Amino acid sequence: MKRLVNLTPSPVISAMLSILPFVMILLVYVAASDVRLEANPNDKLLPSFTQIGDALQRMAFEPSKRTGEYLFWQDTASSLSRLGLGVLIAASLGLLIGIFTGALPLVNVGVSPLLTVVSLVPPLALLPILFIVFGLGELSKVMLVAIGITPVIARDIQRRAREIPAEQLVKAQTLGASTPQILIRVLLPQLLPKLIDAVRLSLGAGWLFLIAAEAIASTDGLGYRIFLVRRYMSMDVILPYVAWITLLAFFFDVALAWISRKLFPWHAQGGS
Amino acid sequence: MMIEAKNLWKRYGDNVVLEQINLQVAEREFITMVGTSGCGKSTFLKMLLGTESSSSGTLLLDGKPISTEPGPDRGIVFQQYSVFPHMTVLENVVAAKAFQRRGITGYLFGSAKAAARKEAGDILQQVGLSHALDRYPHELSGGMKQRLAIAQALLAKPRILLLDEPFGALDPGIRADMHDLILNLWRQYKLTVFMVTHDLKEGFYLGTRLWVFDKLRHDPQAPNAYGASITYDLSVGQMDASLYQEIDDSLRPIVTGQTVDGLEGTL
């Protein structure tokens, strides 16, 4: 018998082992749901898959009686546009701040202490201020996402910029490169794949801020909806919404990883 | 004289690295620098490069104080990290061409790009990389990476080429090829070369002039109180076997009374 640290499962066993926890959770859920619905057909805590399917059908494929919109898709579109805009702003700002503070000592001493302090402010504590300053419209929600993850991305890019060997910067200078040329041709292309990595890592936080903002002040959106139907204990709506959010998050992560591999093959293959 | 140092010192706080460096170097010499690690030969190279500056004394290039930042008149090849990992072999060399122009972005377009690709192709042919134009540096062997770094440096047409242990990480067979390459390029491009090496044989083989960096004075109680200077300045050709042995011994950390004392001093 080999030591446990040396046991590597075959592909088939690996696949089975990785599916197993999902299957078990599903089985436990179905069993528990059956037991509760047996005792009380009106139980709302653990709806059956038929009930969830009906709710999803109602939300996604029938127009709302009140507004005439397909709520599920409306919510998805609103949430994604807020998240997308917020992340786009955060990524652009984070890249700019990170590259300039990482590469230019003069900018670094001016901006880094501020950046450190700002990154320590809990973004959710700023939410009331954002509502007061920007009102309850789209802007305050986008701003929360952007403000929440910009410092994280900026500090990550700053560190990555400093990790690029000084030899490369010296080499570029001996080839006659000016500061903007070094920033654009040596640093920027090497930092773009790191930016994608940073965005992938901060998307989780992005969703958190988005749902929090939507829960507090909104009229649509995935976060708004699950907090709204919580009042009626509509687990049949909340559960598919949570699953959908998870699926979207997973899809973005995979898509970003794919884009990074396609655009920056040297990075994916370990060319640092 | 192209390069002239007058009573050059380099200190970091109380730690003296180099002291009393006086030298003159004419154009087109090939200078190899040897010495034990920490003896300041790399520091001297960095002063020539412009990433370090002297604490006192003067270092002149063509009679004027040498620039304190790297510039296109002095090319460099490091032991590693000398090429850009995100560019293919051809792009690495074309970028060197683009950096010489005034543009903001460092990208070339149109006829300038075509001309640069042509010139880059020629020099890559010369260093024996024309079969690998579209490969990324991580797909190259150590020797190929250094060939690329040399091609890149030469395209900027430097007068001085600085080499910081460029072949230190290569296999002996590959190293011999690289020696031939660098000697050919030195003659063809009329370069003045400064090369740091830890291999005395390499130093004698390649250089027209060999410098040995070592400490003249040594205080066992304060190992950093005195810096190194150039203890031998030899025109290669005047080497004889006993001198070679003497230098070779001084480079190897043999446990003699002196070094043991030195160790105790640091404890």
For residue range A12-28, list pLDDT tens digits in order. 999 999 999 999 999 99
Counting the structural domains of chain B, the total is: 1
Measure Cα distances from B102 to B71, B72, B105 in Å: 14, 13, 9
Across the interface, of B81, B139, B153, the residue whose CB is closest to A165 is B81
Q: What ranges in chain B are assigned the alpha helix state H?
A: 41-49, 89-99, 110-126, 142-155, 172-188, 200-206, 241-251, 257-266
The model's confidence at residue B172, banded by pLDDT at 50, 70 and 90, is: confident
Tell me how close the Cα of B87 comes to any Cα of chain A, in angstroms: 8
Instruction: Determine contact, residues B98/A185, Cβ cutoff 8 Å.
Output: yes
Whether the predicted pLDDT of A149 surpasses 90: yes
Per the structure, the complete domain to which residue B149 belongs is given by 82-157
Distances (CA, A) of B161 to A77, A136, A187: 59, 63, 25
Q: For chain B, first and last CA: distance in Å? A: 44
> A85 and A41, same structural domain?
no
Q: A181 vs B138: CB contact, 8 Å cut-off?
A: no
For residue B254, give the amino acid letter. Answer: I
pLDDT at position A269: 78
Owning domain of residue A30: 4-46
Q: Which of A223-237, B192-206, B243-257 has the lowest mean pLDDT?
A: B243-257
Residue B99 lies inside a defined structural domain of this protein: yes
At A1 the pLDDT is: 83
Quick check: B152 and A171 CB within 8 A? yes
> Which of B83, B93, B99 is the best mutation test for A, with the most CBs of A within 10 A?
B99
Per the structure, how many domains does chain A have? 2
A52 found inside a domain: no
Structural domain contains residue A62 = no
- Is the pLDDT at B230 greater than 90? The verdict is no
B63 occurs within a structural domain: no
> Does A163 lie in the same domain as A261?
yes
| Contact with chain B for residue A230, Cβ under 8 A | no
Residue A92 is assigned to a structural domain of this protein? yes
Say yes or no: A106 and A24 in one domain.
Answer: no
How confident is the model at residue B13, as a pLDDT? 87
In a domain? residue A56: no
In a domain? residue A208: yes
In a domain, A99, yes or no: yes
Q: Which residues contact B247 (CB under 8 A, 6 or more apart)?
A: B34, B200, B212, B232
Q: What is the mean pLDDT of chain A?
A: 93
Q: Which of A174, A183, A267 to mutate to test the interface with B (most CBs of B within 10 A)?
A: A174
B34 domain residue, yes or no? no
**Mean pLDDT over all residues of chain B?**
86
Residues A177 and A122 in one domain: yes
- A40 in Cβ contact with A233 (< 8 Å): no
Out of B72, B104, B137, name the one closest to residue A175 (CB): B72
Q: Residues B31-40: pLDDT tens digits?
A: 999 988 888 8
Tell whether B97 is covered by a domain: yes
The reply to whether B219 falls in a domain is: no
Pairwise CA distance, residues A72 & A134, whole Å: 27
CA-closest candidate to residue B108, choices B121, B91, B125, B124: B91
Q: In what order do the strands lie in the sheet with B209-215?
A: B64-65, B56-61, B3-12, B15-25, B228-235, B209-215, B30-35, B192-196, B160-164, B74-77
Q: Does B169 touch chain A (CB under 8 A)?
A: no
Same domain, A166 and A38: no
Q: What pLDDT is stored for residue B258 in this prediction?
A: 44
Among A265-269, B89-93, B150-154, B222-226, whose mean pLDDT is lowest? B222-226
Report the CATH number at residue A121.
Answer: 1.10.3720.10
Which residues in A77-95 are b (16+ Cβ under 10 Å) and which e? ebbeebbebbbebbbebbb
Residue A97 is assigned to a structural domain of this protein: yes
So what's the pLDDT on residue B226? 85
**What DSSP state is assigned to residue A5?**
G
| Res. B259: pLDDT tops 60 | no
DSSP output for A209-237: HHHHHHHHS-SSSHHHHHHHHGGGT-HHH
Tens-place pLDDT, residues A74-85? 999 999 999 999
CB proximity B158 to A under 8 Å: yes
ipTM above 0.90, yes or no: no
**Greater model confidence, B109 or A257:** A257
Residue B133: inside a domain, yes or no? yes
pLDDT higher than threshold 50 for residue A36: yes
Whole-number pLDDT of residue B265: 38
A165 inside 8 A of chain B by CB: yes
Burial class of A1 by CB neighbour count within 10 A (0 to 12, 13 to 18, 19+):
exposed
Distance CA B69, CA B54 (A): 13
Q: Out of A203-207, B117-121, B125-129, B221-225, which region has the weakest mean confidence (pLDDT)?
A: B221-225
Single-letter code of the amino acid located at A40:
N
Give the integer Cα–Cα distance in Å for A170 and B71.
9
